[in-house]
Amino acid sequence: MRRLLACCMTGLLCLATGAVHAQQGDAPEDYPDTRGICPILPADAGLQWRVEQGPDFFVCRADTIDAGKSAFGVYLGYFPSFHPDRANFLGRGKVSGRKVRWYATEANREGRSLGRETVVKTGNGGVAHIWVAATSQAELDARLRILSAMTFRH
């Protein structure tokens, strides 16, 4: 029992320390994906990954090489904040060769962009939450083709 209590107290201390660092602005910045965490993009995608590490997840953002604008994002973890709602269903598609159902993002529902999002299980028992936004149908179609062709590492 003492050992369990000690482990719990240590865990709480680590969580509190992390929260203090995050409040002080010491949280890690985004950095290039040099560790090979993010999915593999097609060679001709014209995108590069920027990754942010959380306590039990990673967020990969695919930025355009020329302008540095975010094309889409991928959350890799076990507890995504997105939960599909049938009322927002837009259609079917593929991500990493897997069949998915796309749902309207909040920005799409508000008419600010052609956004959509989905969730898919990854090979390691985790979940990938994928979101994409575009300003034109052609841009959206191009980004969806990249998402269909990319490959999850796990």
Q: What is the pLDDT of residue 43?
A: 93
Q: Does residue 25 have a pLDDT over 60?
A: no
Is the distance from CB of 53 to CB of 74 less than 8 angstroms?
no
Q: What is the pLDDT of residue 33?
A: 64
Among 104, 109, 92, smallest CA distance to 148 is for 92
Average pLDDT over residues 28-44: 77
- Alpha-carbon distance 101 to 111, whole Å? 20
Give how far Cα 88 sits from Cα of 61, 84, 104, 128, 142, Å. Answer: 23, 8, 5, 19, 22
Is the distance from CB of 71 to CB of 63 less than 8 angstroms?
yes
Give the predicted TM-score (pTM) of the model: 0.76
Q: Give the number of other CB atoms < 10 A from CB of residue 142.
A: 15
Q: Does residue 84 have a pLDDT over 70?
A: yes
What digits encode the pLDDT tens for the residues 105-142?
888 777 777 899 999 998 888 999 999 999 899 999 99
Q: What is the pLDDT of residue 32?
A: 65
What digits encode the pLDDT tens for the residues 2-11?
333 333 333 3
